[in-house]
Structure 1
Amino acid sequence: MKAALSSVPEKQQQDSEFLREVLEGLGGKRKTLPCKYLYDEVGSRLFEDICEVGDYYLTRTEASIFANNLRDIASEIGRDALLIEPGAGNCEKVEALLAVLESPRGYYPIDISPEILLDAERRIKANLPEMQVWSEVGDFTQPGVWDRLSMIPSRKRVVFFPGSTIGNFEPEKAEELLEMFAANLGTGDGLLIGTDLVKDSVRLERAYHDSEHVTEKFNKNLLSRINSELGADFDLSLFAHRAFYHQLRKRVEMHLVSLKKHSVSIADTRVDFSEGETIHTENSHKYSVSDFNQLLARGGFRPICHWKDSADSYAIHYAQAI
């Protein structure tokens, strides 16, 4: 693994950016926090736990679609492909696909957690000893983490973006992200991407407010991270997890609700909360297949095909860069 832990100056820069974005988000009329900061090492492992919860159907359903269509998906990708996975996490979703690809060039996972990537690379090397892996630590929305791709010769590149992560982005930002993916691909290169489909609000809300309260721990961990990394004094017991489906915007919203009027100190800055005020931490947009095909086209891709489960609750799309 060539990517290393951040140097001291890089760590200071990251902490400074984290502080700036936290203060900007909490200083607005409607308080928000960037969802990317949910996924530190603790948050990433809590999300893995969420994926095992019965109410959270997304990971289980996506896995079944892959399992039932793996050969067809590999056939669409073709031979000699370099698979690129932004926000790779523990890389477990990609292993079965890597194993059936014809003469794959290798795997290029990108994630903000070096510890998660190290563990994943060791596991992939153990299970697929011939697989070349180029791990990159960083935020996949930033151009720099894509730079090393130019040094890896390959006949074809395919961005692998499962988990309906595209739904965490506002539609205009999702379009910009797709444009960035396309800019790092050549004409005819591929995009394999998962989306959660529009469905009834009861099932959606149960998925994001599970009966085992794992999502609550995941959401509140963001406050714990601000406490430990920025010296804040959030009292987690003064906030409640809330998730609901916004029918008009076709998205599930996650919030942390202040249970009483109080103040929090963050790096000598006081942030006031009123009772019932919320911090908006994450969105998860839901798409119909036709709506997502239109988004793909606007983002620089030509939709080729898709696979769904029998209940039409989730889809995996394959598209080509134009």
Structure 2
Amino acid sequence: MTTPQFIQLYQHNAAAVAQELLQGLSAPQAFTSPKYLYDALGSRLFEAITELPEYDVTRNEAQAMALHTPAMIARLPSGACWIDLGAGNCEKAGRLLGAFSAGRYVAVDISVHFLRHALSCLQRQYPDLPMAGVGLDFSSGLSLPPALGLDPAQPRVLFYPGSSIGNFTPNESLVFLRQLHTCCGTAPGSGLFIGVDLLKDPAELEAAYDDALGVTAAFDLNLLLHINRLVGSDFAVRDWQHLSRFNPVQSRVEMHLQARQTLTVRWPGGERAFAAGETIHTENAYKWRVPDFGALLRQAGFASTEFWTNPAERFAVFWAQA
């Protein structure tokens, strides 16, 4: 059986993390990057969110892929190197690798520690498929290491499911998609396979990010405990409440944490006063129309695009030929 290769590029820099967080918390509209929602507990809470009736993103994507697999197989190159961005437990790619006859699989996440178990299990499922895990924070730029030894003549399929692109602003999305286009390389047939959540009724969108059981609220509030550990602050969870609201001008759902009363949060060397009702902006989830996202892909340099949706047309999976 082939043994997975592991390359760790990202190195945790506690001082840089603290500086990033404190700059955001000190801004006139306090904010944090959504990546800080995903500590160990936050990641488990998000897995629970995907099972909620209000949040159908994951189910809609799975429907679209299952329904249109034959059509997708006809478009995606056989024998390609699959590069799975934000691979996590590698579950989504694992369901597809056999059907799409991949020639190599590269899982990219912030830490190879998260990837080791998943890749070991996946390697047993596909014992002859060369696999690699790369520890990389691609939210700040995507550049695959030469140590991977990627064959420039082998087509590449960049795989970015789950509508994670929705966390980026449109301008950030364009910059990132241009990086993905470059990463596709020059081999004929290469391209990007990406999931995108579509615009729908605002009330449904707000409910999807503020469920009746309060799981999403717990997910958002857990961020405060994570920040306390990272910067030594004294956030008290009971002083805050979760808010979800749809911004129609920006076509995005916004998650905020709102102060229940006037309070001051302190950390070593500084503090921030919050008025009652003031918020920390914790995440955006942009929702797209199919023509607009197709145009964005072409603006990023992709030559042609094709898409498939689930039956209710609530989610789209795009194939963008490099």
**Normalised by the size of structure 1, how large is the TM-score?**
0.92
Residue-by-residue CA offset, 1:256-299 (whole Å, 9 max, x unaligned): 00111111122322121111000001101111110001110111
Residue-by-residue CA offset, 1:48-93 (whole Å, 9 max, x unaligned): 1111111110001101111111232222112110111111122111
Structural mapping, 1:1-322, within 5 Å: 1-3=4-6, 10-11=11-12, 13=13, 15-102=14-101, 104-143=102-141, 146-148=144-146, 151-153=149-151, 155-187=154-186, 188-321=189-322
Structure 1: 4+ residue segments shifted above 3 A: 1-7, 142-145
* SS, match of residue 146 in structure 1: coil
Q: Once superposed, what is the RMSD of the aligned Cα atoms?
A: 1.9
User: Does the aligned pair in 1 maintain the 2:162–2:196 contact within 8 Å?
Assistant: yes
**How much does 1:4 deviate?**
6.5
User: Does the aligned pair in 1 maintain the 2:298–2:305 contact within 8 Å?
Assistant: no
Q: Could you list the runs of 5+ residues in structure 2 that have no partner in the other structure? A: none
* SS, match of residue 181 in structure 1: helix
**How much does 1:212 deviate?**
1.7
Q: Which residue identity lines up with residue 283 of structure 2 in the other structure? A: E
| Change over 3 Å in CA distance of 1:149–1:143 after alignment to 2 | farther
Residue-by-residue CA offset, 1:99-152 (whole Å, 9 max, x unaligned): 2122x2211111124443122112212222222221111211344652247612
Q: Following the alignment from structure 1 to structure 2, what is the Cα–Cα distance between the partners of residues 174 and 6? A: 23
User: Does the aligned pair in 2 maintain the 1:139–1:145 contact within 8 Å?
Assistant: no
Q: Going by fraction, where is helix more abundant, 1 or 2?
A: 1
Q: Following the alignment from structure 1 to structure 2, what is the Cα–Cα distance between the partners of residues 55 and 148? A: 43
User: Does the aligned pair in 2 maintain the 1:191–1:320 contact within 8 Å?
Assistant: yes
**How much does 1:179 deviate?**
0.5
Q: Following the alignment from structure 1 to structure 2, what is the Cα–Cα distance between the partners of residues 220 and 113? A: 24
Task: State the aligned residue count.
Answer: 316
* SS, match of residue 20 in structure 2: helix
Q: Which residue identity lines up with residue 57 of structure 2 in the other structure? A: L
Q: Following the alignment from structure 1 to structure 2, what is the Cα–Cα distance between the partners of residues 267 and 242? A: 28
| Change over 3 Å in CA distance of 1:260–1:135 after alignment to 2 | same
* SS, match of residue 208 in structure 2: helix
User: Does the aligned pair in 1 maintain the 2:142–2:179 contact within 8 Å?
Assistant: no
Q: Following the alignment from structure 1 to structure 2, what is the Cα–Cα distance between the partners of residues 171 and 250? A: 10
Residue-by-residue CA offset, 1:158-193 (whole Å, 9 max, x unaligned): 110111111110000000000110111224411011
Same amino acid, percent of matched pairs: 36
Q: Which residue identity lines up with residue 298 of structure 2 in the other structure? A: A
| Change over 3 Å in CA distance of 1:155–1:319 after alignment to 2 | same
| Change over 3 Å in CA distance of 1:304–1:87 after alignment to 2 | same
Q: Following the alignment from structure 1 to structure 2, what is the Cα–Cα distance between the partners of residues 52 and 130? A: 33
| Change over 3 Å in CA distance of 1:293–1:149 after alignment to 2 | farther
| Change over 3 Å in CA distance of 1:284–1:143 after alignment to 2 | closer
Q: Please, which moves more after superposition, 20-29 or 130-139?
A: 130-139
* SS, match of residue 141 in structure 1: helix
Q: Could you list the runs of 5+ residues in structure 1 that have no partner in the other structure? A: none
User: Does the aligned pair in 2 maintain the 1:303–1:317 contact within 8 Å?
Assistant: no
* SS, match of residue 184 in structure 2: coil
**How much does 1:230 deviate?**
2.2
Residue-by-residue CA offset, 1:21-43 (whole Å, 9 max, x unaligned): 11110111111101122223322
**Normalised by the size of structure 2, how large is the TM-score?**
0.92
User: Does the aligned pair in 2 maintain the 1:258–1:275 contact within 8 Å?
Assistant: yes
